[in-house]
A and B are shown apart, each in its own frame.
Chain A
Amino acid sequence: MTELSQGRERRVCAGFLVRLGVLAALVIAPVDASGAAPTTRPAVRPTTRPKTLTPSVAMPRTTADLRSLERRVKTVVEKAQPAVVGILARGTQGSGVVVSKDGYVLTAGHVASVPNVPVDVVFPDGKRARGVTLGMNLDIDSGMVKITDEGKFPFVEMGDSRSLKPGAWVVAMGHPGGYRKERTPPVRLGQVLEASATTLRTNCTLMSGDSGGPLFDLDGRVVGIHSRIGEFTYFNMHVPVETYHETWDLLAGADRWGGRFGPRDLPHEAPVLGVELVETDPKRAEVSLVIPGTAAYSAGLAQHDVIVKYNGQPITSHDKLKVLIARSKVGEEVTIEVLRGGKSKTIKARLGARG
């Protein structure tokens, strides 16, 4: 889906938020979204996906099984807990995890909320560092913060969430109820219950304040970031870390896109093209639907068109297209290159506003 389908998505999500109680509310109050100017930053991916992952999906049957699982969990806590942080911004609180020596922090989109806002990052030992929010994909609730103070920080590796199958044991940490100095980030053990490209569901219980905190595999690598909860203790939702790998440059570049989670932009601020994309291939921007009455409709975009360039910039993923649209302005004329029936075609469209 593109930004245009957000109206519908948001309704689904509103039910989600309001009825199920998403972890959003304790965090940052909406800040003027027009302040979210994209900036250029060095975007160094701190880690690559580890080659192999051996998720343990086995249910322990004997005391010996329990002991060997326990050993791994204890090691995860020992190794990873120092990198679990509290994120304090404007009187509200979330969690995060440091994934590079120089202080890139993964968090939830609704914790970061808006780019370029100063935050405090608090480590379990009480040490504080200053930081700033970078990018966020508010469609899936991923977000990033960078520690701006100089220094070397405890960090953990990012893992591979693609191979997580239901049954995989995972460890959650974070700051339920917000950071408390007398309490280390509580450890919770559970299993993956469902996994999709944009959401992991586990029975690691989460609470408000946990948002942005890490979910680890048994090798102590980050495989998810806490996002929201449902009515039961086995409805705890996390953003898969793969999405951070995929959109690292956009997040580190302080881009903000999407809108299912986090504060809603004012209608006149959110430029809209007016297409939905074929979801099965997130790297290929094939139009599945042109919304009548929108910029795309007036400009003559058609179903099955594949958008390959936007204002001269190559489109390598749905997220890239969404980011570029988000960077544009309402009323701006944009040049779109599409492949239609194998032939290249250039189309000009004047962006509308979200109705």
Chain B
Amino acid sequence: MNKLLAVVFVVSCAAFTPGAQAQPFNPLRRAEQDQKAALLALRQAFRPVVVAASNSTVAVRSQGKELSLGTIVGEDGWILTKASELSGPKLTVRLKDNRELEATVMGVVEEHDLAMLKVKAKGLKPVVWARESEQLELGQWLATVAPAELPVSVGVVSVQRRKIPSRNAMLGVALADGEGGVRVMQVVPESGADKAGIQPDDLIVELNGQAAKTRDQLVEMLAEQFLGSSVIVKVRRRGEEIDITATLGKRIGNERAERMDNMGGPLSQRNQGFPIAFQHDTVLKPNECGGPVVNLDGKVVGINIARAGRTESYAIPADVLPKLVADLRAGKYATSTRPAGNNQQK
């Protein structure tokens, strides 16, 4: 116990005494080294497991900075990755054989936060998706593959696939059921609703063209949105109908949980509001998402899509990906008609 408390004490000092000198024996550093050594030993055990998938994995970069991992889905240069991490000029991808190729964003599926990249290459090795019948089981091993001999990290399946609602975004209105719509009771100052000009007593009748009949219905529709997304709110105000475009801002009152979630490393900017994902306990960095996740058979069971909290990472299950890949390759989500970011038209 004394050792532990000592460690804890050092942690607290370290956190609050910038510039504190390293002691000859630093239990915190020791704990960090032990953890790294243990994780390395465990990753070594996965070497044979990740061999095949590592040839189908790339690092997505911008001027030498790693933005995300990517998953090769076509031998002629098609690569899937996490869309919202792709900031910066001159995208390149680095293959396992260290070739670095220029990449272009061909399409973005915003709801899944997936982007399709294209590089000029032939003979790449596309991933082999796990068959649909290969159901994940809780507690089963997963490895997050890198374009390298060893996986980035490993973990286990925490929760079966589900819809991941958006919890950190809010429009900024207090609502009540109204006659023929949903009544705005209050507007949170400085919120997206406030900035867009939504006013108390407005009657919301539509959200993004869909009728909003009850408060619960509207709340559910809003829950599908995420931080930074724009919505078109049709309101009835003094007998007049107005379309208002509002951007969802950060939910307030969540600070404590948020702080704890951030204890243990940075999270993906876009980490909520996914149509479908399974949850695992692999500790990832935001730029380690976008690549394949394999089971012990080396089969790709999904693509990491977010580091979402201290205890959780999300991956899109493999069986929903082939269709998205086909649509992306067919140009259905081409970026020329739908640039990344928030560009809802009025």
Which chain A residues have a beta carbon within 8 Å of chain B's beta carbons?
Answer: 12, 15-16, 19-21, 23, 25-26, 59-63, 65-67, 69-70, 73-74, 76-78, 81, 171, 176-177, 182-184, 186-189, 191, 193-194, 196-199, 201, 203-210, 229-235
Residues of B within 8 A of A61 (CB): 44-45
B111 at the interface (CB under 8 A from A): no
**Contact status of A66 and B281, CB under 8 A, knowing A186-B158, A188-B156:** no
The number of chain B residues touching the other chain, given as a range, is 35 or more
Q: Does any Cβ of A come within 8 Å of B279's Cβ?
A: yes
Contact of A19 with B310 in the complex, beta carbons under 8 Å: no
The chain A residue with its CB closest to the CB of B297 is A63
Query: Which residue of B3, B34, B45, B159 is within 8 Å of A63 (Cβ)?
Result: B45
**A143 CB → nearest B CB, Å:** 19
Q: Is the CB–CB distance between B256 and A233 below 8 Å?
A: no
- The distance in angstroms between the C-alpha atoms of A201 and B283, with both chains bound, is 17
- Bound form: Cα–Cα A229–B8 in Å: 10
Indicate if the CB atoms of B309 and A207 lie closer than 8 Å.
Answer: yes
Within 8 A of A (CB), among B2-18: 3-5, 7-9, 11-12, 15-16
- Identify which of residues 300-315 in chain B touch chain A, using a CB-to-CB cut-off of 8 Å: 309-312
Please give 5 more A-B residue pairs, beta carbons under 8 A apart, in addition to A60-B45, A184-B160, A232-B31. Answer: A20-B8, A66-B141, A205-B281, A207-B311, A230-B8
With CB as the reference atom, state the residue of chain B lying closest to A23: B260
Q: Which of B7, B9, B256, B281 has the most chain A CB atoms closer than 10 A to its own CB?
A: B281
State the CA gap A312–B162 with chains docked (Å): 59
Our pick among B1, B7, B138, B141 for the contact of A81 (Cβ within 8 Å) is B138
User: Given the complex, which residues of B lie within 8 Å of A184, measured CB to CB?
Assistant: 138, 159-160
Report which of A19, A76, A194, A205 forms a contact with B139, defined as CB distance below 8 A: A76
Chain B: CB-nearest residue to A189: B156
> Which B residues lie within 8 Å of A69 (CB)?
141
- Are B279's CB and A20's CB within 8 A? no
Q: Give the residues in chain B near A66, CB-CB below 8 Å.
A: 45-46, 49, 141, 296
Q: A19-B16, A74-B140, A176-B311 are in contact. Are A194 and B260 (CB under 8 A)?
A: no
Does the CB pair A20–B4 fall under 8 Å? no
B211 in contact (CB, < 8 A): no
Given contacts A60-B45, A207-B310, are A73 and B139 in contact (CB under 8 A)? Answer: yes
Report whether B155 and A189 are in contact in the complex, using a CB–CB cutoff of 8 Å.
yes
In the complex, A229→B160 CA distance in Å? 25
Residues of A within 8 A of B159 (CB): 183-184, 186-187
* Bound CA span A210–B44, Å: 30
Instruction: Judge whether B257 is part of the interface by a CB distance below 8 angstroms.
Output: yes
In the complex, the 6 A-B pairs of residues with the closest C-beta atoms, listed nearest first: A196-B1, A186-B158, A73-B139, A233-B264, A15-B12, A19-B12
A176 near B45 with CB under 8 A, answer: no
A21 touches B259 (CB 8 A): yes
Residue in contact with A191 in the complex, picked from B38, B296, B312, CB distance below 8 Å: B38
- Determine which of B8, B34, B141, B283 lies in contact with A205 in the assembled complex, contact meaning CB atoms within 8 Å: B283
Contacts of B95 in A (CB 8 A): none
| CB-based contact B138/A231 at 8 Å | no
- Smallest distance from the beta carbon of A240 to chain B beta carbons, Å? 11
Q: Give every chain A residue within 8 A of B34 (Cβ-Cβ).
A: 193
Instruction: Indicate if the CB atoms of B45 and A229 lie closer than 8 Å.
Output: no
Name the one of A19, A26, A63, A197 contacting B48, with C-beta atoms under 8 angstroms: A63
A177: chain B residues within 8 A (beta carbon):
257, 309
In Å, the complex CA distance between A183 and B4 comes to: 33
**Contact of A233 with B310 in the complex, beta carbons under 8 Å:** yes
In contact, B31 and A231 (Cβ under 8 angstroms):
no
B263 interfacial contact with A, CB 8 Å: yes
Q: A12-B9, A59-B45 are in contact. Are A187 and B38 (CB under 8 A)?
A: no
Q: Which of chain B's residues have a CB closer than 8 A to the CB of A230?
A: 8, 11, 263
Q: Does B32 contact A (CB under 8 A)?
A: yes
A62 to B44: give the CA distance in the assembly, Å.
9
Q: Which of B9, B49, B139 contacts A187, CB < 8 Å?
A: B139
Question: Which chain A residues lie closer than 8 Å to B257 at the CB level?
Answer: 26, 177, 207-209
Known: A12-B9, A229-B263. A188 touches B311 (CB 8 A): yes
Nearest B residue to A228 by beta-carbon distance? Answer: B8
B20 at the interface (CB under 8 A from A): no
Bound together, the chains give a CA A19 to CA B158 distance in angstroms of 28
| CB–CB A194/B259 < 8 A | no
Q: Evaluate contact between B162 and A70: CB separation under 8 angstroms.
A: no
Least CB distance, A28 to chain B, in whole angstroms: 15
A206 to B264 CA separation, bound complex (whole angstroms): 10
The answer to whether B45 and A234 have CB atoms under 8 Å apart is no
Shortest CB–CB separation between residue B171 and chain A, in angstroms?
Answer: 21
Using A66-B46, A70-B140, A198-B1 as known contacts, say yes or no to A59 and B283 having CB atoms under 8 A apart.
no
Least Cβ distance of B136 to chain A in Å?
A: 11
Q: How far is the CA of A63 from the CA of B311 in the complex (A)?
A: 25
Residues of A contacting B137 in the complex (Cβ-Cβ under 8 angstroms) = 74
Name the residue on B nearest A18 (C-beta): B12
